[in-house]
Amino acid sequence: MKNFTKFLSILFAAVIILSGCSNNNATGSEKEAADSEERAADEKLALSYVTDYYNNGKKEERLKFVEESVHPDMQGGYRTNAKSAVSEDQMLKDPKVAESVAYEDEESEGSLVLIQSANDKEMIVLITDNKVTLDFTPSPNAGSEDLYQDVRSEFKTAK
């Protein structure tokens, strides 16, 4: 319950932060080029998260991914989850990056990356400081689903 409350707090903060503005001094074209480059790297990492961690049933490989690619503040929860694989019906088959949007808060910046799959499942991966920070998936739990939909509303791509 404590981890769920912490997750909801982080998720709520992410939603609030997504509505904020950026105060970067770079010129428009310089900022766009840098954002595009960084976003491409974040998209690659998000897709790697789905294939190398989320869809991967091998505990040792999942733990290695956590050590190398998950934000240090979030590694504990991901390490715990690495011990058991998701069921076949929860996996994202043939995942693809559908869209990404910039993310920024007071302490970090990065991207929210929308991953969609051939089996009509989707996931949003939050990348900050070039590391996986959180993932968001649709949930049967009403509170979690509301939060997911709030984050999902940042994207233009249809479901």
Residue 19's pLDDT is 45
How confident is the model at residue 47, as a pLDDT?
97
Q: What is the pLDDT of residue 31?
A: 61
pLDDT value, residue 150? 92
CA angle 29, 19, 15 (to 5 degrees): 125
Give pLDDT, residue 10.
56
Question: What is the rounded CA–CA span in Å between residue 77 and residue 3?
Answer: 8
Q: In a structure prediction context, what are the per-residue pLDDT tens digits for the chain, which is 159 residues long?
A: 454 444 444 554 444 444 444 444 555 666 666 667 778 999 999 999 999 999 999 999 999 999 999 999 999 999 999 999 899 999 999 999 999 999 888 888 899 999 999 999 999 999 999 999 999 999 888 888 898 999 999 999 887
Phi and psi, residue 124, nearest 5°: -115, 130
Q: What is the pLDDT of residue 13?
A: 47
State how far the Cα of 104 lies from the Cα of 107, in Å rounded to an integer: 8
Long-range Cβ contacts of 124-131 (<8 Å, 24+ apart): 124/148, 124/151, 124/152, 124/155, 125/45, 125/46, 125/49, 125/50, 126/14, 127/42, 127/45, 127/46, 127/103, 128/71, 128/103, 129/71, 130/41, 130/42, 130/45, 131/45, 131/69, 131/70, 131/71, 131/72
Question: CB under 8 Å to 103, separation ≥6 — which residues?
Answer: 14, 17, 18, 109, 110, 111, 112, 126, 127, 128
Nearest to 90 by CA among 137, 46, 126: 137
